[in-house]
Amino acid sequence: MLLHRAVIPCLRQACRLQSVPSRLCIRACSTNDSLQPQCPSLAFSGANSSTRGWRVMGTLLGLGAVLAYHDHRCRAAEKSPHIYTREEVKSHSSLETRIWVTLGCEVFDVTEFVDLHPGGPSKLMLAAGGPLEPFWALYAVHDQAHVREILAQYKVGELSSEDKAPSTLKTSDPYADDPVRHPALKVNSQRPFNAEPPPELLTENYITPNPIFFTRNHLPVPNLEPETYRLHVVGPPGCQSLSLSLDDLYQFPKHEVTVTLQCAGNRRSEMTQFKEVKGLEWNAGAISTARWAGARLCDVLAKAGHQLRETEAHVCFEGLDSDPTGTAYGASIPLARAMDPEAEVLLAYEMNGQPLPRDHGFPVRVVVPGVVGARHVKWLGKVSVEPEESYSHWQRRDYKGFSPSVDWDTVDFDSAPSIQELPVQSAITEPKDGETVQSGEVTIKGYAWSGGGRAIVRVDVSLDGGLTWQVAELNGEEQRPRKAWAWRLWQLQAPVPAGKKELNIVCKAVDDSYNVQPDSVAPIWNLRGVLSNAWHRVHVRVTP
């Protein structure tokens, strides 16, 4: 009877473990193929009933012990966290596969929280399948106890110990030493690295945070030591050249200026949709704004003995990034611009109050306000004044515009000037193309900028493809006449016309010279896909 009291509760408990997917539990509680729980009988008869009874009792006792141990293991497994690899987490990056993220070594399934996210679903989706840390670093509001308490409710496991730290293996790959990038960046090429921020983050702030500033690299990123860095400034005939350390540059008067940089290929993907071009498929994010600080180029050139000339001259820049043949990236600007204090050309060593990040030219880069990004040479190693523009491939055989009729069989790069100042530009960053918006009122956001220091005076927005227009509100720093180096962010809140099931949203900007964007890509298409500044168009659906 003691054995009976010890074993039978275990058997009855095992019979109740319907949630444990174990053949052991099923077989212990079943005597037929119906798999219905039926506990074994303890009734015995016949000559050997006593022996048989003790044997059965022993068997049941052992079975009860096994079942009790199995139950213990099941409960322990429920308490122990599931272990996942980063690859497993990465596979959960859509609503179909569920949205997983990591924080530290913990894994969370935040699918049910996506629509509840205070910053909007699109912001949270940027981290889908990856770590939250890079995004929380951008928004300090997340680093609060109640936010972590909310997140804790969605924990599903932990990262494998092998996946908690990134690999530090060295290889012979020239790009192996490239810096770590922010996961929000939309990558257009890995080698060399080129990426843009997603539109919903691009205009979140007037000043673009360093980690999501668009990145345009032509070659591997050099890893330069600030202690041994030297900038070679070639002097004019009869004058000695300068070899400047970072400390030497710090001795020049420090100048700060807010400048927008835009790649010549920004919005190239729209030209590709019209007709194929050669180049990276930039969307509308190859543009960003930062507060730069450094020495004025005119002060450094004057220190080396240079002055304005009556004849044409160019300041040539050479970077310390190079290809396997030793060819470095190079570009040039007219000497007149470089020597003009009002042009505010910098040899910058700070970006948004911090030393330049490696991807953006550490320790020193050129910043040429109002001029195409291709002339803002990074990892600057040499400056010289020459009678002709740089012989660099990127100055002579790239970054030039041509007629739509010119193809690769007829192109003559010597016939076109190198791009310097860029045309007026604007784009919509919210809502995104293909998005669904609510009926009632829609909020539209974007940016506008023009080259050469020309200020943005107006942004027009249409909800019906350009049939009717409304004027957007301009935000950001006030722009100085002829020195409007930075963009204007803009916003429009407009009622959605009753009964509309879709909106064809269009924007166009006007600068203070009354330059305005063309209405379509066709008349400005060119084989390199540069200078793409047609009206920006976004098509969205409307929910009732």
Domain layout of the chain by residue ranges: 83-159, 186-397, 424-542
Of the candidates 526, 492, 476, 488, which has an alpha carbon nearest to the alpha carbon of residue 287? 488
| Residue-level pLDDT at 165 | 59
Out of 7-16, 24-33, 317-326, 351-360, pick the least confident: 24-33
| Residue-level pLDDT at 135 | 81
Q: Identity (one letter) of the amino acid at 187?
A: V
Q: Is 216 a catalytic residue?
A: yes
Out of 46-55, 126-135, 315-324, pick the least confident: 46-55
CA angle 349–350–352, rounded 5-degree value: 160
Please state, in angstroms and as integers, the Cα–Cα distance from residue 201 to each residue in 206, 354, 426, following that order. 11, 21, 16
CATH number of 186-397: 3.90.420.10
| Residue-level pLDDT at 475 | 94
Mean predicted lDDT score pLDDT of the chain: 87
- Topology agreement, domain 83-159 and domain 186-397: no
Residues 478, 529: Cα–Cα separation, whole Å: 31
User: Which residue has better confidence, 122 or 470?
Assistant: 470
- 81 band by pLDDT with thresholds 50, 70 and 90: confident
* Whether pLDDT at 1 is above 70: no
| Residue-level pLDDT at 146 | 79
Please answer whether residues 341 and 387 qualify as being in contact, where contact means their C-beta atoms are separated by less than 8 angstroms: no
| Residue-level pLDDT at 340 | 97
Q: Identity (one letter) of the amino acid at 11?
A: L
Q: Is 250 a catalytic residue?
A: no
Domain 83-159 - what CATH class?
alpha beta
Tokens of 342: 């009002």
Of the candidates 494, 397, 516, which has an alpha carbon nearest to the alpha carbon of residue 440? 494
- 28 band by pLDDT with thresholds 50, 70 and 90: very low
* Whether pLDDT at 3 is above 70: no
Most confident of 13-17, 47-51, 482-486: 482-486
Q: Is 146 a catalytic residue?
A: no
Of the candidates 96, 100, 98, 116, which has an alpha carbon nearest to the alpha carbon of residue 108? 100
Mean pLDDT of 90-101: 95
Mean pLDDT of 518-538: 98
Most confident of 140-144, 276-280, 355-359: 355-359
Mean pLDDT of 407-431: 97
Tokens of 31: 């005597």
Of the candidates 218, 184, 179, 214, which has an alpha carbon nearest to the alpha carbon of residue 290? 214
**Which listed residue (55, 117, 482, 541) is catalytic?**
117
What is the pTM for the complete model shown? 0.78
**Which listed residue (399, 447, 488, 537) is catalytic?**
399
Backbone phi, psi, residue 20, to 5°: -90, 115
| Residue-level pLDDT at 544 | 83
**Which listed residue (70, 98, 142, 458) is catalytic?**
142
Please state, in angstroms and as integers, the Cα–Cα distance from residue 415 to each residue in 48, 332, 372, 386, 518, following that order. 111, 18, 19, 20, 24
- 35 band by pLDDT with thresholds 50, 70 and 90: very low
**Which listed residue (216, 255, 267, 375) is catalytic?**
216
Tokens of 426: 């604007």
Q: Is 514 a catalytic residue?
A: no
Domain 424-542 - what CATH class?
mainly beta
Residue that the structure tokens 């400056």 belong to: 383
Phi-psi region at 198: left, alpha or beta (left = phi > 0; alpha = psi -120 to 50): beta
Tokens of 258: 């807010």
pLDDT tens track for 146-198:
788 899 999 999 999 887 655 444 456 889 999 999 999 999 999 999 999 99
Tokens of 288: 């960003």
| Residue-level pLDDT at 324 | 76
Of the candidates 95, 92, 94, 81, which has an alpha carbon nearest to the alpha carbon of residue 159? 81
* Whether pLDDT at 2 is above 60: no
Residue 372 burial (CB < 10 Å; 0-12/13-18/19+)? buried
**Which listed residue (263, 298, 316, 507) is catalytic?**
263
Determine how β-strand 82-84 pairs with β-strand 155-159: parallel
Of the candidates 139, 91, 100, 134, which has an alpha carbon nearest to the alpha carbon of residue 118? 139
| Residue-level pLDDT at 164 | 65
Out of 119-123, 268-272, 310-314, pick the least confident: 119-123
Determine how β-strand 93-94 pairs with β-strand 186-189: unpaired
Alpha helices by DSSP H, 309-452: 335-339, 393-396
Mean pLDDT of 25-34: 35
Q: Is 539 a catalytic residue?
A: no
